[in-house]
Structures are given as C-alpha cells and as structure tokens.
Structure 1
Amino acid sequence: MFWIRLVGASAALLSALASAHVTLEQPQAAAGSAYKAVFKVGHACAGATATTGITVRLPAGFRGAQPIPKAGWTARVQRAPLAVPYESHGRRITEDVVEVSWRANNADAALPGAFYDEFTVRGTLPASEGALWFKVLQSCDVGEADWAEVPASGTSTEGLKAPAARLLLGPAPAAVHVH
C-alpha cells in the first residue's frame, strides 16, 4: 500500500512540475517601491535534464536593476537608451539595464531538472499601479522555454502555455513621518 501511495504522490508531483513555470516569489508590491524580484525555477525545459541559463527581460519602468550573483554562474546585464530619462540621486539617467542574464559556468554548476533554485534582481518599480510582466527565457542542456506570454487584456494567465512572470503593483503606502 505504501508503494502505491508513493508512486501516486510522485506522479502528482511530476504532473505539477510539468505545468509549472518561472514565477515571482512575491507577486505583489507597492508602486514606486524598491523591489527584490526573486524568480523561482522549479524544473528544466521539456526533454532537458538541466537549466543552463536564465535571461530576464525587464519591463519598462523597472529602474536601476542589479542582479545578485550566484556561485558557479556568470551574471551579465544589457543596457539600452531610455525613451524617457529619469533622475536618480541627483543624476540624469539616460540609459538603464533592460535585461539580466545568468549562465552556468559549466555542466556541474547547471541546475538539475529535478531541483529548485532562485535567480534574483533588485530595482525600483514604476510609480503607477497595474501589472508588470517580466519575460524570462530559460535555456537548458536541450532546448529553451520562453516564458513570455502576456494576456491580450487583463492580468489572468489562465490558458497561457508559457506565461511571463506577473507582478501586480498596488498603491504606494502613505508617507509616515518618524521622529
């Protein structure tokens, strides 16, 4: 009886992993706040045995992105000119990070398909409320999974085969004066 339950539980877990995708640890945040985007990776691409790279395309308005390094992986950023420059700490910012990527330095550092890990980038969120979509390209030892689908309207990812990671921005907390 124990083995039947174990096999059934294993099948349910594998089924859940097969339908999983790259998601955010904290799917809601206050507009205009600092935010640590923790991307959760729970499996390799279909038919693959390991994840070898993660590339996050940052949504417009996500400012000052900084990746958190991972041992055994090389982090890189891609910068581009901004359509609308902004001020930060008294400086005019005319270009910013638009993409962050991590690549396993070798096969031993790759994320095995049956394991879970996180990839993190911090930055500042736009001041307006609504949904932000982080498109994530997952590279594997065999193939890729492009988690980049965004609904035509609304914020529901139901029915999408490869949804982008969604962050819902709510109202900024009221300013508090502390002595």
Structure 2
Amino acid sequence: MLKKFATALLCTAACLSNAQAHITLEQKSAVSGTSYKSIFRVGHGCDGSPTTNITVFLPEGFVGAKPMPKAGWKLDIKTEKLDKPYLSHGKPVSERAAQFSWSGGRLLDAEYDEFVIAVTVPESAGKRWIRVLQQCEKGQNDWAEIPVEGQEKPRFPAALLDIVPAAPVAGHEHHH
C-alpha cells in the first residue's frame, strides 16, 4: 500500500517538473471584455541558471492592467499611447500599461513562482499569445514563438490565452 503511494508521489514531482517546462498561464481562458487575473507561472530557470528578471508584453487590446508587486523584486511599467482612447469610469484613457518587468529578484531553478497582472481582455474572442522574456544570471529564454498548425512545437512558445465570447444575456425564459 505504502509502496504504491510513494510511486504515485514520485510521478507527481517528475511529471510536474516536465509540465512546467514553459512559462504558462494558470487560467488558460478568459471571457471577452472582462477583467482577468493573469498568473504567469515560472517553473524553471535558463538551463539551470536562476531567473533574475521577468518581462511580460501585453498584446494590443489588453487594457487597464495592474501588476501585483512582489517582495524582493523591483517593478517597472512601460506605457504606450493608444490609437483610440477609450472611456473608463466616464473618463477618457489615452494610454495603456503595455510592458511589465519584475527585476532584481532571484528565483532558483529548483523553485517555482508566479507573476500576476490583473487586466481587462479585448472584446474580440480568439487566441492571444503573450510574450514573456525570462532573463537569468546566465542566458535568457524569450517565450515569444507562436506555434504553427502542422509544424513542430516551438521550443519557446509564448503563453496562450483563449478569449471566449461572453454568453448572451439570459432573461427570456419563463420562471415558474
């Protein structure tokens, strides 16, 4: 009985480390036009070297982003002007936070951490690829490649978010 349990545990650890080989989003989908908490999971360094900097590049259409600060890391936010300002709480907004960098920390290869940005996702549904640049004491991993159907999986795929259409508003049913 105990032996079986130990084997299962062993697989969990090994199988997990395998699955965490990329920078991925914890929640893989979001409803269009809604607020979404993007949690970027960093499961390893660069070929064993500790991670010292994570930069997330939010694609166009992602607005109102607010990163979660992390103890021991310095946070930098780069903004960019919007082609079309939009209204937020009745006020026009003409720029957006587009790039977030956490630096100065040290995440060992054997450790795991999460970097979080709350953001409003675009109104249009579909797959969005989010580039994440991981810099380490030695080397870097640029998670920017977009897989192409029928081709070999890229070594450094960008994080994928699937934006799903909002459900139509209910209210036409008869309640008894």
The AA in structure 2 aligned to 1:16 is N
Distance 1:54 1:9 in 2: 29
Gaps spanning 5+ residues in structure 1: where?
none
Identity among equivalent positions (%) equals 45
Contact 1:150 1:157 (8 Å CA) reproduced = no
Over the residues paired in the alignment, what is the CA RMSD in angstroms? 2.7
Distance in structure 2 (CA, Å) of the matches to 1:161 and 1:149? 8
SS for the counterpart of 1:114 is coil
Residue 20 (str. 1) matches residue 16 (str. 2): no
Quote how far apart the aligned CAs of 1:150 are: 1.3
Q: After TM superposition, which residue ranges in structure 1, 4 or more long, deviate above 4 angstroms?
A: 8-15
Decide which moves more: 117-126 or 74-83.
74-83
Q: Secondary structure at the match of 1:162?
A: coil
The residue number in structure 2 matching 1:138 is: 134
Task: Determine the C-alpha separation between the residues in 2 that align with 1:129 and 1:14.
Answer: 30
Query: TM-score, normalising length from structure 2?
Result: 0.83
What is the Cα deviation at residue 149 of structure 1?
0.5
* 1:23 Cα deviation after fit: 0.2
Q: Distance in 2 between matches of 1:80 and 1:65?
A: 12
Matching residue of 1:83 = 83
Q: Is the 8 A contact 2:17 2:43 kept in 1?
A: no
The structural deviation recorded for 1:11 is 10
Structure (1 or 2) with the larger CA radius of gyration: 2
Are the aligned partners of 1:76 and 1:100 in contact in 2 as well (CA < 8 Å)? yes
Assess, with a 3 A threshold, how the Cα gap between structure 1 residues 157 and 25 changes in structure 2: closer, same or farther: farther
Structure 1 residues 157 and 37: alpha-carbon distance in aligned structure 2, compared to 1, 3 A threshold: farther
Tell me the CA shift for residue 83 of structure 1.
2.1
- TM-score relative to the length of structure 1: 0.82
2:90 aligned with 1:94, yes or no?
no
Q: Which runs of 5+ in 2 are unaligned?
A: 172-176
Change (3 A) 1:13 1:122: same
Q: Partner residue of 2:174?
A: none
Distance in 1 separating the partners of 2:72 and 2:153 = 36
2:147 to 144, 151, 154: 151
Is the contact between residue 126 and residue 164 of structure 2 (CA under 8 Å) also seen in structure 1? yes
Which range moved further: 79-88 or 162-171? 79-88
Counterpart amino acid of 2:31? A
1:168 maps to 2:169 = no
Query: What SS does the corresponding residue of 1:110 show, helix, strand or coil?
Result: strand
Show CA shifts across 1:38-60 (max 9, x none). Answer: 00000001241x11110000011
- Letter matched to residue 113 of structure 1: D
What is the distance in 1 between the residues matched to 2:25 and 2:151? 13
Separation (CA, whole Å) in 2 of partners of 1:117 and 1:162 = 18
- Structure 2: distance between partners of 1:143 and 1:76: 21
What is the number of residues matched between the two proteins?
Answer: 165
**For residue 127 of structure 1, what is the aligned residue in structure 2?**
123
Contact 2:55 2:102 survives alignment (8 Å): yes
